[in-house]
Structure 1
Amino acid sequence: MSTPDDLFGPDNLPYGLFTTADDPGHRRVGVRYGARVLDAGAAAAAHGSPHAELLRQPSLNPLMAAGRHVWQAVRGALRSWLTDEAHREATERHLIPLDEVTLHLPFEVADYVDFYASEHHATNVGRIFRPDGDALTPNWKHLPIGYHGRAGTVVVSGTPVVRPQGQRKPPSEPLPLFGPSQRLDIEAEVGFVVGTPSAQGTAVGLPDFRDHVFGVTLLNDWSARDLQAWEYVPLGPFLGKSFATSVSPWITPLEALDAARVAPPSRDFPLLPYLDDSADGIAPGGLDLRITVRLNGHTIAEPPFSAMYWTAAQQLAHMTVNGASLRTGDLYGSGTVSGPEHSQRGCLLELTWGGREPLVLPDGKRAFLEDGDEVSLSAWAPGPGDTRIGLGDVTGRVAPPR
Structure 2
Amino acid sequence: MFGPLLDKLFNRPVTEEGFAQLFIKAARDAGFSGPLDYRPSEFRLLHDNGAYFNLHNAFRDYQSADKAHKPSVLNGYVSTLINAKQTAPQTFERVRPLLRPVIRNLAMLEEVRLHQARTLGWDAPYSTVYQPLGRDCVTLLAVDYPESTSTLTKGPQEDWGLTMDEALAIAVDNLREATPDAFEEIEPGVYTGRWNDGYDTSRVLLPDVLQRAPIKGLPVFMIPTRDVLLVTGDRDEQGIRNMVEVCFKAIESGRVVSSQVYTYQDQQVVPFISGDAVVETRLASLEQLLLLGAYHDQKELLDTIHTEQQNDVFVATYQLFELAGGNGKAFSVCSWTKTVDTLLPKTDRVALVEIQDDGSANVHVVEWDELKSKLGELLTPVSVYPPLYRTVGFPTEQQLSQLTVLS
**What TM-score does the superposition give when structure 2 sets the normalisation length?**
0.22
Instruction: Answer 1 or 2: which has greater strand percent.
Output: 1
**What TM-score does the superposition give when structure 1 sets the normalisation length?**
0.23
Instruction: Answer 1 or 2: which has greater helix percent.
Output: 2
